């Protein structure tokens, strides 16, 4: 059996109250997986633990078989994390930023330059390549952050609400880049509240509520589960409404 891109088992995390409860989740290599859930369900918390930004209280997380807790650097080498709050240096241009990130990954200057131009072209950022990031709108910054996350050719790309605040053209560019990555064999995990996007793009969908995975499958499998030939929005609302708050 091929190693999954992401294998989570018995994951738990509390802040002032339990937020993630005994969560298990497996994402196959090469799939486009959408993680859905109401506000506060725990999606960002899960992904922050996967990206190594937050320590779990219990449980195991492996990325392509690499344990995130015992081998954090090896895991980070193959993951890209794109937060919903882009963090890019105001005083750098996109080109400088990408070359800086490439340097952190110890990518040689020649490759870094070529890679940076390729990403800027892909995301429609080439006309802004030499403008200061501090002058950009949030949507443009989001695309720069995405480009930065892709510089080291990650095998797994994790995105938290990547389309929020993007205009139609930018959203299309980001979606096209992600689909192209999946065609190249990269695994993508994305949270979104835009259910039509999950419906159209994701091969499988996981629904989180109260820190638990309450349903998972292809759209057809989720439809079969609720017993209705309906939209993902209707399925989602049915599943979440049926879920009690306490375990
Ligand atoms: N650092 C923190 N300290 C305390 N509570 C936190 C912290 N981070 C998250 N939480 C709480 O954990 C719960 C889950 O938050 P999380 O951001 O993971 O949800 P989400 O599913 O991503 O929600 P949304 O769709 O609104 O982004 C929320 O109740 C949130 O207030």
What is the model's pLDDT at position 205? Answer: 97
Q: How far apart are the first and last CA of the chain?
A: 32
CB 211 within 8 A of CB 10: no
Burial class (CB in 10 A: 0-12, 13-18, 19+), 28: middle
Q: How far apart are CA 225 and CA 93, in angstroms?
A: 49
Q: How far apart are CA 94 and CA 90, in angstroms?
A: 10
Q: Which of 61, 155, 148 lies closest to 105, judged by CA?
A: 148
What is the model's pLDDT at position 242? Answer: 85
What is the model's pLDDT at position 1? Answer: 66
What is the model's pLDDT at position 246? Answer: 54
Mutate to test the pocket of ligand 1, among 42, 161, 195 (most ligand atoms within 8 A of CB): 42
How many other CB atoms sit within 10 Å of the CB of residue 99?
Answer: 18
Ligand 1, atom 1, lies closest to the CA of 15
Q: Which residues contact 76 (CB under 8 A, 6 or more apart)?
A: 51, 52
Cβ 45 under 6 angstroms from ligand 1 = yes
What is the model's pLDDT at position 243? Answer: 80
Q: Which of 177, 212, 219, 165 lies closest to 34, judged by CA?
A: 219
CATH fold of 6-78+154-242, please? Answer: Rossmann fold (3.40.50)
Ligand 1, atom 13, lies closest to the CA of 40
Which two three-digit tokens encode residue 61?
């997380």
Cβ 42 under 6 angstroms from ligand 1 = yes
Give residue 45 CA to ligand 1 midpoint distance, Å.
Answer: 6
Ligand 1, atom 25, lies closest to the CA of 39
Q: Which residues pair with 67 in a beta bridge?
A: 62
pLDDT tens per residue across span 147-198: 999 999 999 999 999 998 889 998 999 999 999 999 999 999 999 999 999 9
What is the model's pLDDT at position 51? Answer: 93
In the chain, ranges of CATH 3.40.50.300 domains: 6-78+154-242
* Positions in the chain short of pLDDT 70: 1, 246-247
CB 15 within 8 A of CB 184: no
What is the model's pLDDT at position 247? Answer: 46
Q: What is the ipTM of this complex?
A: 0.97
């Amino acid at each position: 059996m091929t190693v999954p891109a992401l294998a989570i088992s018995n994951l738990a995390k509390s802040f002032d109250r339990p937020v993630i409860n005994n969560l298990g989740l497996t994402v196959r290599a090469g799939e486009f997986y959408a993680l859905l859930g109401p506000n506060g369900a725990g999606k960002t918390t899960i992904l922050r633990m996967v990206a190594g930004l937050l320590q779990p209280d219990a449980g195991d997380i492996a990325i392509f078989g690499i344990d995130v807790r015992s081998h954090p650097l090896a895991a980070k080498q193959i993951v890209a994390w794109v937060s919903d709050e882009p963090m890019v240096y105001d005083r750098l241009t996109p080109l400088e930023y990408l070359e800086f990130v490439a340097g952190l990954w110890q990518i040689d200057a020649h490759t870094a330059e070529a890679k940076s131009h390729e990403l800027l072209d892909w995301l429609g950022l080439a006309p802004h390549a030499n403008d200061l990031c501090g002058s950009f709108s949030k949507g443009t910054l989001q695309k720069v952050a995405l480009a930065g996350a892709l510089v080291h050719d990650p095998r797994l790309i994790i995105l938290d609400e990547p389309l929020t605040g993007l205009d139609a053209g930018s959203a299309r560019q980001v979606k096209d880049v992600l689909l192209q990555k999946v065609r190249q064999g990269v695994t993508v995990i994305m949270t979104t509240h835009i259910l039509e996007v999950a419906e159209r793009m994701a091969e499988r969908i996981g629904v989180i509520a109260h820190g638990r995975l309450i349903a998972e499958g292809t759209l057809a499998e989720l439809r079969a589960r609720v017993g209705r030939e309906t939209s993902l929005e209707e399925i989602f609302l049915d599943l979440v409404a049926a879920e009690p708050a306490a375990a």
